Amino acid sequence: MKWKQSSVLPGFNLSLGYSVLYLSLIVLLPLAALISKSMGLDWASFWAIVTEPRVVASYKVTFGASLIAALINLFVGLLIAWVLVRYAFPGKRFIDALVDLPFALPTAVAGIALATLYAPNGFLGAPLDRLGIKIAFTPAGIVLALTFITLPFVVRTVQPVLEDMEKELEEAASSLGATRWQIFCKVILPTIFPALLTGFTLAFARAIGEFGSVIFIAGNMPFKSEITPLMIISKLEQYDYLGATAIAVVMLVVSFALLLLINGLQWWMTRHRR
């Protein structure tokens, strides 16, 4: 197999060497240091730390809220991407720019803004509180913050795929008598599904490690609205570096396993379609 190809960039060996070196310094070494630090614990101590009832409760809050937020953005993100690609309307560029706002806005600022807005005396929180609906300082507030932070992942992943889709396929299906729902399920969805899956995975993985936007609106009540990243910070503040490292390793393993699973599923789907 011929690996070398003509390019304006340096040769394959040099480019690969710089790429591996950069990834090693930025990604692999910090992760290796994290795992190496956790090895200072024996298995019994490690297991006792990561299965402590308060830590397990934080897992449930973190992973549950992240899953709900990613699922919400799976549908809402697809809708927004569809509107931006398929329709022309006044203010389209402004809405398109708003999608990227969570990327540019500091997460702490987003958390403070959401907490102020949805607090019991806030602009939206006050009328909701009169209806018996509490958002701020509850798990619902965590879901709200994570949904805000992870929205761009789904939109920006699906949008280019929708733009590259050939509308002739939809027109052909329509001419053969297919309904709009059949066109979506049989023509559009199989094409955008890998992108949807990627956007969902990125949103879920991003939500798992989110801290800044959540800490101000969560309430941080143990066994109710305390997230795992806060547990790690608490361990560090108590100078329990081994405990913080152990919990961080669990988060790392879960995130890596999720990404590996999704990549494997995408590879299988691509091979199956071919």
pTM of the entire predicted model? 0.83
50 pLDDT higher than 80: yes
CA dihedral for 115, 117, 118, 121, sign (positive or negative): positive
Query: pLDDT tens, 121-133?
Result: 888 888 988 888 8
Averaged pLDDT for residues 179-190:
82
209 pLDDT higher than 60: yes
Please report which confidence band the pLDDT of residue 8 belongs to, taking 50, 70 and 90 as the band edges: low
- The three-class DSSP label of residue 10 is coil
Spatial CA neighbour of 243 closest among 56, 60, 40, 27: 40
Do 129 and 48 meet the contact criterion of CB atoms below 8 Å apart? no
CA distance 206 to 204: 5
- Angstrom CA distances, 264 to 3, 16, 66, 89, 160, stand at 24, 23, 21, 39, 22
CA distance 142 to 215: 8
Query: pLDDT tens, 125-165?
Result: 889 888 888 888 888 999 999 999 999 999 999 999 888 88
Q: What is the pLDDT of residue 5?
A: 53
7 pLDDT higher than 80: no
Q: Average pLDDT, whole number, for the chain?
A: 84
Q: Which is higher by pLDDT, 265 or 68?
A: 68
- The three-class DSSP label of residue 156 is helix
Residues 6+ apart with CB under 8 A from 237: none
Q: What percent of the chain has pLDDT over 70?
A: 94
187 pLDDT higher than 50: yes
Averaged pLDDT for residues 207-235:
86
Q: Residue 9 is inside which H or E element, if any?
A: none
Q: What is the pLDDT of residue 1?
A: 46
Q: What is the pLDDT of residue 162?
A: 87
Do 261 and 89 meet the contact criterion of CB atoms below 8 Å apart? no
